[in-house]
Chain A
Amino acid sequence: MIVHREPEAIVFENVSKFYGETLGVNKVSLSIPPGITSLVGPNGSGKTTLMNLIAGLLQPTRGSIAVCGLSPGDPERFFRTVGYATQYDGFPRGLTGWQFVHGYLRLFGFSPADTERMAWEAIDRAGLREAAPRKIAGYSKGMRQRIKLAQAIAHRPRVLVLDEPLNGLDPLARAETIALFRDLGREGSHVLISSHVLHEVDLISDQVVMMSQGYVVAEGQIRGVRSEISDQPMQILIRCDKPEYLAARLFQQEQVVEARVHADRGGLLVRTRHAESFYKLLNHIALNGVQIESVAPADEDAQSVYEYLIGHEEPTK
């Protein structure tokens, strides 16, 4: 893959990272555009390594990384553009939530008034105003996740890297946090998230990067990635009034691999190798007495694509 130094993208050029003889990531070439991108892969696939490489916490054994044209080797400019909430659950000893965010902002050299205002804004966005004066050591896992998020967004970075940011959050906080990601994505930020909850990946992401054993196995929009998996027939769910009749008709067609009546008998699930010609055929059948309510791809989601590409291994970090 040819990668260009795009000023608004996160660009990896043939990046490899080895820990001694252990592979972290290998030959990663990627260009991630603005929007919300999910990083998905099983345990040990290299997601955290990739994120740490972006933030300069690790240095590549080979290759180079640029974030909006900036390198972590120039931290004074780089970290004004990038915010990173790591998966590490360690905090400087003895700090309150407020001190954690405020102290971080002081390192940027903002004026005292701006530092205070920005710290409260970030803490408010993370929903921690009441807990902010308390020591982080007494926070729950979810609160620690949120204070890390507050720290990462406090200086209003254009690029936000979040390693498992939804871990430990209760359902309400999850929904609020996802809404926050969407807001940030709409504002034109890069939001790169690693997650192991695949249905949330579908909810959140504009695009995905799938990793396995240190390699990037797919990248792009889910639909695009799915369409490139030619060895797996497309699954299409058709809602109609005569599923048995439609199944019998479709099964005679060459491009249909499987046609199965749905368990609720209100439709059928079809697998086909040629989606385009199948849709044309369906139009023809619909004109011959079958009432079709809806036609929708059934496997253009992260879970299905993940299973096709990586298998059934649990997609934890």
Chain B
Amino acid sequence: MNLWKQQILAIMRIDLAKTFFSRRGLWIYALAFCPAVPMLGLLLLGRGQRQLGDDVQIFAGIFQFFFLRVAIFFGCVGIFMNLFRGEMLDKSLHYYLLAPLRREVIVAGKFLSGLIAAIVIFCGSVLVQWFLLFIHHGSILNAYMFSGPGLSHLVSYVIAAALACIGYGSVFLWAGVRYRNPLIPAAVILVWESANGILPALLKKISIIYWLQSVCPISIPAPRGPGQGILALLISDINPAPARVAILNLLLLAAFVLIWAALRARKMEIAYATD
């Protein structure tokens, strides 16, 4: 095992424990698993009253409107921005900066720690939600999963959640390295991502949510009637990109942003008093 791998693993041992078991991170668990609460309610109270097709639409709606745009977005803000900025506020970042570590290795180690935590939490939540929403269908679910598109849908949702963690995670890690107050760029990104539905076709593609929606297996139809103006902000009507292209683009975006963050980290100074 070469030195960089050992160093990255050593960073991950410290940072994973902090991310998973920190009391400060409890709200991220709450955010990730809050969609499971109404699903548990439906399971307990509404057994046998819904068709499978209804549940497929409910899951798609919750995943695209809440889980990707709110839960994973803010969860990644909490996890990835704190990797550097949180340690700057705790006055503990110098621990890594005084070790024989290239700054690029620190960025890689911290990103992977955040990514593993985010994927475990959010992809785990997808699986729990799926189970709670569909379990009551019994033999119909079996047919949907193993003879129909159910399993590939579930895999697509898990991949979309993981890609959201990679995409938003890389951007928020960069913001944490680059800005003293990274909440401002996070707010700008939130507005941009939220307005994706009303942007011209070309501009839609300069976002993470467009590519994530392209990975989702079910398109949500544009709503009709009252309230469509507000929902139009969230719903993209353009043709989604092929899933492979979307995955590749998201990975390339993350790689580009991480390289930028690593270059920026080389110039990072410890000036706790001013942070």
A positions within 8 Å CB-CB of B: 19, 52, 55-59, 75-80, 83-84, 86, 88-95, 99-100, 103-104, 106-109
Contacts and interface: CB of A to CB of B under 8 A. Distances in A.
Contacts of A103: 10, 13-14
5 contacts: A19-B274, A57-B97, A88-B270, A93-B18, A93-B90
B20 to A, nearest CB: 11
Given A91-B92, A92-B92, A103-B10, A19 B271 contact: yes
Give the 7 A-B residue pairs with the shortest CB-CB distance, closest first: A90-B91, A106-B10, A107-B99, A90-B92, A79-B100, A57-B270, A109-B3
Interface string B201-223: 00000000000000000000000
A315 to B, nearest CB: 20
B40 to A, nearest CB: 31
A173 to B, nearest CB: 23
A108 B269 contact: no
B267 interface: yes
B144 interface: no
A95 B14 contact: yes
B274 A52 contact: no
Contacts of B17: 94
A90 B87 CA distance: 9
B103 to A, nearest CB: 8
B16 to A, nearest CB: 11
Interface string B1-24: 001001100110110011001100
Interface in B1-52: 3, 6-7, 10-11, 13-14, 17-18, 21-22
Given A52-B270, A58-B270, A109-B6, A88 B91 contact: yes
Contacts of A56: 97
B14 A89 contact: no
B155 interface: no
Most interface-central of A58, A83, A89, A90 (chain B CB within 10 A): A90
Nearest to A58: B269
Interface in B231-275: 267, 269-272, 274
B146 interface: no
